[in-house]
Amino acid sequence: MKITWYGQSAFRVEVGKAKILIDPFIQNPLWKGGWEGPAEGVTHVLLTHGHNDHIGDSVAILKKTGAQLVANFEICMYLVGQGVSGDQINPGNHGGTVDCGGFTTTFVNALHSSSYAGEGGTNTYLGNPAGLILHFPDDRTLYHMGDTDIFSDMALINELHEPQIGIVPVGDRFTMGGAVAALACRRFFNFETVIPCHYKTFPMLDQTPDKFIAGMEGSGVEIVVPNLGETKEI
C-alpha cells in the first residue's frame, strides 16, 4: 500500500489497480502543486463528509478523471448537482458497505458535522459525517477517521473491522487534539501503523502532531508523519 499526504485530510492511497483520493482538499494553504498531479490516474474519490476542506477539489477531479465517487447519499446528489455524472456515484451510509471494485468501503460513525459553505452565506446540509473503512483482499485494512472526537464505540469499530492502519485527526478545535487522539488509538484499536492529519493547514489548528506523537510513545505502534507530497509504502 502506497499512501501520499497532501495536507489537511487529503490522501492518495494506491493498492493494486485502485488509485484512491480521500477528502481531496488538495488546493489548500500547504500544498502548492495543484490537484492535477495528485489526481493522475485516480480511480476513486472517497469523501468522509461535506465540509469545504474535505470536498475540496472533488468536482474538478471527478469531471476530469471520470473516477467513481464514494460518499453518503447527500454528498453524491449534491455533487451531481455540481455537474458530476450520476453514472460515477456509489453512495452509502452508516453501517453500509459498498463494493468499489477491487476493495470495499464501509461507512462508520464520526462525531462532527457536515455541510458545504457556498457563496453569499449559503450552507448546504450534506448528511452525517463518517469515517471510512477500506478493506482490500490482498492488503491491510485502512481506517480514515474523517473529522471526529473520541467515542467509546470506536471499540466496536475495531471489533468489527480490525483496521491495521489508521489515519487520525489530531489538530484540535474541530477534531480531537493530539493527546485525545492518542488515547483513542491506544484504548480502542490495535493499529500497526498510524498517520496523523488535520493539523497545520490553518493557524487555528495545532501546527504539529507533537502531542499525538508524545501520547503514542511506548505504544509499539508505528507513527508515520509524511512530508507534503511524500509517498510512504506501508
Q: Pairing relation of β-strands 104-109 and 130-135?
A: antiparallel
- The string of DSSP letters for 199-233 reads -SSSTTS-SSSHHHHHHTTTS-PEE--PPTT-EEE
Q: For residues 229 and 222, what is the distance between their CA atoms, to the nearest angstrom? A: 20
Pick the CATH number of 2-229 from 3.40.50.300, 3.40.50.720, 3.60.15.10, 3.40.640.10: 3.60.15.10
Q: Is the alpha carbon torsion for 97, 20, 2, 154 positive or negative? A: negative
Beta bridge partners of 22: 11, 46
pLDDT of residue 160: 98
Count Cα atoms within 13 angstroms, Cβ side, for 232.
17
pLDDT of residue 8: 98
In this structure, what C-alpha cell is assigned to residue 128?
Answer: 452525517
| Residues of the chain predicted below pLDDT 70 | none
pLDDT of residue 178: 98
SS3 92: strand
Q: Domain ranges in the chain?
A: 2-229
